[in-house]
Structure 1
């Protein structure tokens, strides 16, 4: 794909966004071409490391299948029949459709959706709040926000692992940190700490490479995480191994917690967790004895019906051992002072009467408190007009058909919409259903301010592909057409200086210096208290009680039964793809050409499945096709499927039905607080492809 450079020849420091890690990168430009991308050794986030995805950035930049012009659908939804149109016509058509939606059905009938957040999430919220819709849809219910909201309801803040403080031990829970990176703190930080003597305690259904190196590996059964965390809390309290001073001075509800967890003795929940009681006790006491320990909660820990309960329990575990906001522990994040995550969304622009209309707010009140609509409620509103009709969607960077639970219902909802616009880099199966497709630039094609746990950084625009524009440009132009310009800057680039003004910087200064470190402070609660009503960390959360939820974390068993299948299904992300992206990049697809399902040798022998053969995994009357990998890294009753799979080489449809694990999952509404989809611990069966049909 031809592109033009937007800078002179030279080497440029910037920030990668091929995943959520946000590594510092050095990009070489010579003779009007981007010639190399490598890790920046001076960046404190990755110190020169760049993963396979980052190294494939140039293949993404000039991929022959990149969208380069706006498209208007001319055939049936999903057919991929489009004709190119200009930006003015495209934006006029989108704005006209959104204005019609607003006038005829109310602003709440528009859902603004995102998937891969390329640092524009706050812009989407600003647009939605200005427009008047409370319905922003994203993966928040299964990614990051269960942890964020557990932190806010427990202590008024959320935390990140302090590798600068040299933790003695890191507890990795559902987090394969060396292979998949997220939340601005990447796996190289962990590996550097391990090389310096940090020990690891890993909770994971698979024996990952990290688990093999860990001092303790608790091979939890998928879905048993909350019970395991509570059994560790019980063990520490029973052994009187908690931090008495921190608990007495800075927490509330200890006695209630101690009584509550007596039901979670390791022996009592061994059938739920799958972890021998002796291993639980040994690991819990090792964690409690560490002078400073940090907890890495991955998305794997936030994708089951007990996600919020587990995140609460993990914070309580940290607090019991005095690891909150201490060097080498779980440090409370402080905003860097710019117009960013807190101010940019412009929450105050959304009228209160509209805020009360957020889809799913009646049941998933903590998710709604974070500002997100619930997926199942969105599909209900589209298909059944409950509690009111949703007629239009504006989607940025999300292949909804493979990333959300119950993909068949998602497909039905997209077919029913009156209007759908999608902004993306490629014509995904979701984009192929849109009325208007808007081509956006990747990370090498935009100027952005990037917020990390440790710094504010500059992402530099170095190239221009076709007529692609940034998501920020699209939202700014739509706001102007819809009469919302007073909530936005005259143009997207004008926001850069304005957002940095509170710290006395401008865009040129940040771009020249590459990043601005954020001062790291410890033990802030000693002078400021915690940001709760009492000023103490809530082991027992009266705020949750006021919401109508349990004030103490608990394990809730699944609604299924062994009759639904003999195996527990979970899924795992590949280190070579980012959710559903990059399967069309040969350098990455070549490393993992097929969707894989891992199963134990005993299961393989029982079902007659040989290593490397195709197998059918079935649940809820549906089946998907995956290539078997026989391994003893998983338990005999657990199978692990590849996540978010589709086949870009198959045209507009992308074969999204064939190997997509989310055809087997469901938004069953069991998770009350966050509405987290149950991606872990689903009862299923598996058989050779030749043993029967599927679909």
Structure 2
């Protein structure tokens, strides 16, 4: 049996570390970090090391399935690929013929490098409705960057920022947005100083020069306070402001009243600490801001992202070495052109669900989830009849999970493509088995390079999402696709003058990092300058300057502020069925301050019940001073793969406690941070009843 070592790029999380996979015959047998990859230099986290265990998991879906019992019962029979794809194509075409292409929604979870494929398919099909967690994830930052300075920025760790602001992100553990935390840690080891803004004392916060433990959801108020200080104390790059920005005087007037005392009262961060952080940032020779999803999950998400960009601009850190560098992608058919947005007619784009209220989100191509559920359940503004879901466990991914369940149950047709029979997949009419990252050839487009992810094995009859979408496109006669997903690889790389084989043989092509690009061509905005004050937003009916939206209501007696965070052993809702990872964190955690725990009669290790909006969820308490007093930090996206499908997502799902809101006007971001909530010790009999794996009935013990 031949043994070979294949260089590839991990996709067990959003980052994409370099990996070396040892393959014996047709089976992957071991994996380690690739020491020659500049992203991670040989490091591989617990999730990456579990890749092979995940790939060959006995519960993997290995062939297409058709539902046989009631929706949600989990009753299925195997069918062939041709039969499955024919039926999916027929049902999607029938829905389009009956109610228009907009009646079909295409959904996905975290981008696994096929996001652009899904958009391409939806646009060619004629549907404006692509559903994803964009409004509470990456896209408040993306759209803030595009509207403010014409592009998206990333932190330039290659040139050792003097200061990095890590804001609502635990970058060292989560590796989000294609930027690996090891790059940040390497910069810190070389002398980069940290300002960490987070209600939780993360490992990075423990190493920071300044840790600002703000109240969840008050990020925009803090951002306005930082802008106030750097302007008031003249910690500015005056030349950049004069030559490359518009609206400075309006901004100066706007933040005048956000003095440190007022900001401290709103955020709970001492005024002197706010001033210290602003001075540390404002006097740095170079500084970068690393925004995480913690800043995107409240009513002021878009404003927080805009304010962070304005702070970077005022201090001259845009597109400079060690600053916030504008992404300049390689000329492949990739993130910017692969979606083929020009294929969607303007009259169809105008029908995008949520576009009437959340125009900035709609500009990015995404439908708003609350509007999707309303369209399914109430046929407002038109009916949604069918949905095709790729790699998303919707029941634990969106607020008001019970409403999501009602909507999925009301669809005429639901198809889910996934690796496992998740509770969402268990509702589908057709289930398609997706391949894992070890089983597919993909182009990986990072800030720093374009790389090859190479297939090294296969499991059952599983197929990549790209193959499935390409085959469906052929059956539906959609234009803009290829003979095969393999052919597409060469076609997408052709504009860069290379082929898939050349890229795979070379492993990756570095992207030239160029600075001060605006000096040659200005910024890609209407004025060619950074829009501190945004006339376009004003014309769209939004605030032209960042604002802070206070909470919907204040705390009542006995309530605390609920927030959440992801575990470093899981990725969103994934991997709780992987034994080596589940052993590291077997239960959903609730992190609670000792003072708060004592007041509620909760001890470390107790099971606790959280309650909000008339719903309850069960978590195991970890009493720690790593969180602020009065803050409850719950595990996100939790479900129990060992329980029956319709019970597995109800018990410890924090999203059941959260309102399916659209509080941010521009992006429609729901308030997932700083939500009023109560907590109490859970009775032992309730815990036993909920978690008893031997029970066969699927009734939920919690309201």
- Normalised to the residue count of structure 1, the TM-score between the two structures is 0.98
Query: Displacement, 1:116?
Result: 2.5
The aligned counterpart of 1:556 is 549
Query: Displacement, 1:565?
Result: 5.3
> Is 648-657 or 330-339 further displaced after alignment?
648-657
Q: Distance in 1 between matches of 2:180 and 2:297?
A: 20
Q: What is the aligned counterpart of 1:381 among 366, 375, 381? A: 375
Q: Distance in 1 between matches of 2:223 and 2:558?
A: 26
Q: Does 1:429 align with 2:409?
A: no
The aligned counterpart of 2:276 is 282
The aligned counterpart of 2:251 is 257
Q: Distance in 1 between matches of 2:644 and 2:389?
A: 20
Query: Displacement, 1:564?
Result: 8.0
Query: Displacement, 1:654?
Result: 5.2
- Residues 55-70 of structure 1: matches in 2 within 5 Å? 55-70=49-64
- Normalised to the residue count of structure 2, the TM-score between the two structures is 0.97
Query: Displacement, 1:268?
Result: 1.1
- Residues 31-110 of structure 1: matches in 2 within 5 Å? 31-110=25-104
The aligned counterpart of 1:312 is 306
Alpha-carbon displacement from aligned partner over 1:25-44 (angstroms, at most 9, x marks no partner): 10011244312111101011
Cα contact 2:612–2:676 (8 A) shared by 1: yes
Q: Distance in 1 between matches of 2:683 and 2:67?
A: 39
Cα contact 1:77–1:434 (8 A) shared by 2: yes
The aligned counterpart of 1:671 is 664
* Aligned CA-pair RMSD: 1.2
Local SS of the residue matching 1:284 = helix
The aligned counterpart of 2:394 is 400
Local SS of the residue matching 2:648 = coil
- Residues 296-375 of structure 1: matches in 2 within 5 Å? 296-375=290-369
Q: Does 1:226 align with 2:223?
A: no
> Is 368-377 or 672-681 further displaced after alignment?
672-681
Distance 1:391 1:32, change over 3 A: closer
The aligned counterpart of 1:575 is 568
Q: What is the aligned counterpart of 1:420 among 414, 420, 440? A: 414
Q: What is the aligned counterpart of 2:443 among 431, 444, 449? A: 449
Provide the aligned length of Structure 1 versus Structure 2: 688
Q: Does 1:510 align with 2:503?
A: yes
The aligned counterpart of 1:542 is 535
Alpha-carbon displacement from aligned partner over 1:224-255 (angstroms, at most 9, x marks no partner): 10000110110111111111111111111111
- Segments of structure 1 that go 5 or more residues without pairing to the other structure are none
Cα contact 2:3–2:25 (8 A) shared by 1: yes
Local SS of the residue matching 1:160 = strand
Alpha-carbon displacement from aligned partner over 1:335-358 (angstroms, at most 9, x marks no partner): 210001111111011011100000
The aligned counterpart of 1:681 is 674
Local SS of the residue matching 1:569 = strand
Cα contact 1:598–1:629 (8 A) shared by 2: yes
Alpha-carbon displacement from aligned partner over 1:539-587 (angstroms, at most 9, x marks no partner): 1111111211000001011112323852000000000000000000000
Q: Distance in 1 between matches of 2:702 and 2:92?
A: 40
Q: Does 1:491 align with 2:519?
A: no
Q: Distance in 2 between matches of 1:521 and 1:78?
A: 52
> Is 520-529 or 23-32 further displaced after alignment?
23-32
Q: Distance in 2 between matches of 1:624 and 1:172?
A: 30
Local SS of the residue matching 1:562 = coil
Q: Distance in 1 between matches of 2:316 and 2:412?
A: 53
Alpha-carbon displacement from aligned partner over 1:635-666 (angstroms, at most 9, x marks no partner): 11111000000000113335201000000111
> Is 359-368 or 264-273 further displaced after alignment?
264-273
Cα contact 1:15–1:458 (8 A) shared by 2: yes
Q: Distance in 1 between matches of 2:702 and 2:569?
A: 28
Alpha-carbon displacement from aligned partner over 1:432-466 (angstroms, at most 9, x marks no partner): 00000000100000011110001000000111100
Cα contact 1:382–1:389 (8 A) shared by 2: yes
Query: Displacement, 1:667?
Result: 2.4
Q: Does 1:21 align with 2:15?
A: yes
Cα contact 2:26–2:457 (8 A) shared by 1: no
- Segments of structure 2 that go 5 or more residues without pairing to the other structure are 687-700
Q: Distance in 1 between matches of 2:380 and 2:417?
A: 27
Q: Distance in 1 between matches of 2:577 and 2:677?
A: 29
Cα contact 1:616–1:694 (8 A) shared by 2: no
